[in-house]
Amino acid sequence: MKGKYVAYAFSYTGGALLQWCIDTLAKDEKRIAEIKKTSVNELLESQLLTNEPTGILVLPHFAGAATPYMDTGSKGAIIGLTTTHTLADIYRACMEGVGYEMYLNYELMASAGIKFRSLNATGGGAHSKLWMQMKADILNLPITAQENVNAGTIGSAMLTGVAIGIYKDLSEAANLLVKKGETYYPCEEMHKKYMKIYQRYKGVYNAIRPLV
């Protein structure tokens, strides 16, 4: 498309970090969730005693760092644990860490003149109301979950359909194939709370990297 460009910001771990947390730390909770016929994600979310930010700093570089660092040698870190913290707190902190990493990229893109009015969410994380609201609060933007979370497949079908003449253009394809789900709107009070912690989060990579 002439005159159009893509700014690609991404992380190597998102849902994969939560899966690591579950597979490594939540073996008992997985069994309990099976008995209760619910997902372990929902079980852990239900165990949270508050909706406040945890204050735990999770550097989500468990598979290296993508943008803006592009540093495959970076390692993950969990900082600020106390004996009062629970597994559910660590699980939520992993969500927060991914959100802070998103905001780091968002800030850099915004400083380059890329403006956002809203975001769309796909993938397994779009099913979590807690995580969706958290991302909206951290980024201070409305985020809409897509009904079909397999965005890559839908996008490929749209492009193919336009190429072989099934659809007139991408707008027509989108009107037929892209179905919006629930939109999550940011809470200004929560955004301010997250930003206080984010100011500390921004220093974690440079503090940790020389040690690993």
Tell me the pLDDT tens digit for each residue of 85-107. Answer: 999 999 999 999 999 999 999 99
Domains along the sequence of the chain with CATH: 15-116+199-206 (3.30.420.40)
Beta bridge partners of 58: 78
Q: Say whether pLDDT at 190 is over 90.
A: yes
Q: What are the backbone dihedrals phi and psi of residue 180, each rounded to the nearest 5 degrees, phi first? A: -85, 145
Are 9 and 105 within 8 A, CB to CB? Answer: yes
Which pLDDT value is given to residue 148? Answer: 82
Cα 104 from Cα 174, distance rounded (Å): 29
DSSP 8-state symbol, 184? E
* Distance separating alpha carbons of residues 158 and 156, to the nearest angstrom: 5
Residue 192: CB atoms within 10 Å:
11
Percent of the chain past pLDDT 90, that is, above it, reads 86
